[in-house]
Structure 1
């Protein structure tokens, strides 16, 4: 008879699981709402899949492999009848109202209104099993409070404000259409198609839909390539994962095929595309850890402020704008991006060398002295951005102590973005340190600059 071994405690088990790379998860497939979802999908022709809904300690809700998935294996094949598209909407009770409305609605608005109306119908809705598992709120900018907006990076703050305003405009500009739907609603339209309800629907479509082209029709106007895909949309994003995803015209199913495979009990992922973290936060409401595509963007206003003593700055900025050189100016962990360095090299030139400006944009090298000035300028940009990041993180820490749960979730997303920026900028400065000389060595080669801050 073998002696009973010492029973490890919870802390020891957690350490062992972390060392072995085990991701802790809890199956969700026995919860009533997921049972109803799977029954709903099976009734529409969805067959078995090697995945099950689960809650993961690191990413939250996702899909877990029930068995090892081999490279190239089909992991989800969702029939067309399970997809919620504009065709679904046009063939529903909303169809006559949309088809007769002028001017024509956008496909996005049609889907949003359908989601709101179906949620309003509750369990009477055919799509209730799907709507019941959708998030009740989101952590993308359309939901951000003013306090959260204030701790975003400058460029992200501007785009976030544009997203929030776009949703408000969609709601305010379509009030007449909303009122036309009163006959199919059991409550006053103003209580159903509220701004908050439309925002929820807009974020549901924007964050969860897959790309699927649809034939044009005479009833809708604009981009029509949205499809909401129940169950499939539980797949989370990871930057280093490769999958093949598309609608198969032969099988009439939306299919996901793994490229690299997934081990049993591990989370299966999808790749939303090579987005940096700012784009992921803006479009999907999360920040992916260890994202190799992430960069920090340099805003034009900051660039101008750093070299504000240059008497020919206005002319140079105008020249850069005319040549489409004022966007995608980035800093990465490896150092400044090519576009940023090229723009700064042009800023290093005196106005007397105007004839060389175009050549620099095309890749012509500048003298060593001007190259050193450019490196110092980028270093200053990096330091300014890092200070802004530190300030924002301090404000976020303060806000987290005072806010409620919904705002806390938003702040945690922004905090992840800012922490990533801090790491990128720190690594970038290290890369720049090895290439820079002391400022005193550069005084004789600066452009028309009285002071560089």
Structure 2
């Protein structure tokens, strides 16, 4: 008997099986132009087509099964946008005569902005047109939204903003030298917003590819290569891939270790990054990321310490000298070994100082000091949990009346905070289980 269940029933079945819906984008003019343009350069994409997925947004869907260790994609060198191609372009003569030499990053950013300005006449126009018009990286965040981030990533985001602004201001003289290329004033073309767009395009979408050093570029490491179509592949932390430039085929190749089923989204892995790093570098958060942790910065650590401890500064200096004031974290399994080791050293009494080195190697101090460490870890976890709750409440308030860009940013920070809340709740349970019970 034929199954006559409707669309709603099919959706329910897919949801129950954990499948996500998708809408193909192959028919859209921009993607048709991109695929036609890449075909002229020797790339065929029959096995993967662009689609919009309910959980990840734009991505690539497999139109046929990808077996284990099969090639997911093989992009010819002609399709890769590198500094070599920029130096060969109309920008090349300006870059080559500029002193001191510009960085590989600025060379690529300048080319992206120039090609976007040239519109349909630009060689790389089919690629430029499918790039996002803006990004959700923290460099786009207002101070109000940046302040909602956890302390550790907030400081990194503020530093990133400062570095970008310095990069922009120091690159302005070079941008002004490009005036002969444009009919409009350079100040109108190379605005801070335009450079931020190009900077995020390179940082979030480039693949790692080492290049020979050029005398016309600064000595900064040149490992950038923008890979049209390939950069539509989304990240999944649990997927294993082999990626790199094949010197024999002269293609950038990605192989899937587990393979991929027909009509499912093909994923790659950007690396074993936690959600804070994914947000900072790529502008997204991975749900259920097994690499995610909650960081304890120095200021938060000091909240559970006794200022009356005359040896506190000496202990902190010792931890710093031994690189034990970084990467102190809580995970789904509770406080990390590094965090507990730091707390053990901070708990020590003067008569126990002779054991400092053995404690750094993982040795316990004493029963009463171990209990002290567990209690302090619980205090830290509760403080971070309270901070998390306050941030989520503030995000809910700001979402009312927020415009499109702000709403995307707030939802992203909210996702990060919700993922961290799960970790903190699990850590609290772990600590509660090992907390010393009061005697009857």
Same fold per superposition (TM over 0.5): yes
Deviations along 1:288-342, whole A, 9 cap, x unmatched?
1111000000011111121134422222111111111100101001011111000
User: Residue 215 of structure 2 corresponds to which residue in structure 1?
Assistant: 218
- Specify the SS of the correspondent of 1:207: helix
Counterpart among 86, 91, 95 of residue 88 in structure 2 = 91
For 1:106 and 1:352, the matched residues in 2 are separated by: 55
Flag structure 1 segments of 5+ consecutive residues without an equivalent. 442-453
The number of aligned residues is 438
Match status 1:145 vs 2:142: yes
What is the deviation of 1:65? 0.5
Does residue 229 in structure 1 map to residue 224 in structure 2?
no
Contact 2:35 2:45 in 1 (8 A): no
1:379 maps onto 2:378 in alignment: yes
CA contact (8 A) 1:49 1:76 kept: no
Check if 1:348 corresponds to 2:347.
Answer: yes
Q: Distance in 2 between matches of 1:102 and 1:341?
A: 51
User: d(CA) in 1 for partners of 2:434 and 2:130?
Assistant: 53
Deviation at 1:186, TM superposition (A): 1.7
- Pair 157,48 (structure 1): closer, same or farther in 2 beyond 3 Å: closer
Within 5 Å, give how 1:270-349 maps onto structure 2.
270-311=268-309, 312-349=311-348
Q: How does 1:14-29 map to 2 (within 5 A)?
A: 14-29=11-26
Secondary structure of the residue aligned to 2:434 is coil
TM-score of the superposition, structure 2-length normalised?
A: 0.97
Once the 2 structures are TM-superposed, how far is the Cα of residue 358 of structure 1 from its aligned partner? Answer: 2.2
The 1:47–1:6 alpha-carbon spacing in structure 2 relative to 1, beyond 3 Å, is: closer
CA offsets 1:123-159 (integer angstroms, 9 cap, x no match): 1110010000000000111111111101000111100
Structure 1 residues 72-91: aligned runs within 5 Å:
72-91=69-88
SS in 2 for 1:434: helix
Mapped contact 1:37–1:130 kept (Cα < 8 A): yes
The residue that corresponds to 1:448 in the other structure is none
Deviations 1:338-390 (A, max 9, x none): 11000000011013432222221122221111101101100110000000000
Residue 171 of structure 2 corresponds to: 174
**Matched residue, 2:108:** 111
Report the 3-state secondary structure (helix = DSSP H, G, I; strand = E; otherwise coil) of the residue aligned with 2:370: helix
Aligned counterpart, 1:437: 436
Give the alignment partner of residue 201 of structure 2, picking from 175, 197, 204: 204
Conserved 8 A contact 1:104-1:219: yes
Counterpart for residue 48 of structure 2:
51
> Alignment partner for residue 260 of structure 2, among 246, 259, 262?
262
Gaps of 5+ in 2: none
Helix, strand or coil at the partner of 1:174 = helix
3-state DSSP class of the match of 1:72?
coil
Structure 2 counterpart of 1:421: 420
| Structure 1 residue 7, shift from structure 2 partner | 4.5
Native 8 Å contact 1:83 1:228 kept in 2: yes
Taking the aligned partners of 1:266 and 1:381, their CA distance within structure 2 comes to 42
Counterpart in 2 of 1:391?
390
**Match of residue 180, structure 2, among 175, 180, 183:** 183
Counterparts of 2:2 and 2:45, CA distance in 1: 41
**Are the structure 2 counterparts of residues 310 and 9 from structure 1 closer, same or farther at C-alpha, using a change threshold of 3 Å?**
farther
Aligned-partner SS, 1:227:
coil
Distance change >3 Å, CA 397–CA 414, structure 1 → 2: same
Give the whole-Å Cα distance in 1 for the aligned partners of 2:159 and 2:7: 48
Which portions of structure 1, spanning 4 or more consecutive aligned residues, are displaced by more than 3 angstroms?
4-11, 438-441
CA offset digits 1:7-37 (Å, max 9, x no partner): 5354433211112333211110111000000
RMSD: 1.4
Mapped contact 1:376–1:439 kept (Cα < 8 A): no
Q: Distance in 2 between matches of 1:414 and 1:51?
A: 31
Cα distance in structure 2, aligned partners of 1:440 and 1:96: 80
TM-score (structure 1 length as normaliser):
0.94
Matched, 1:194 2:182: no
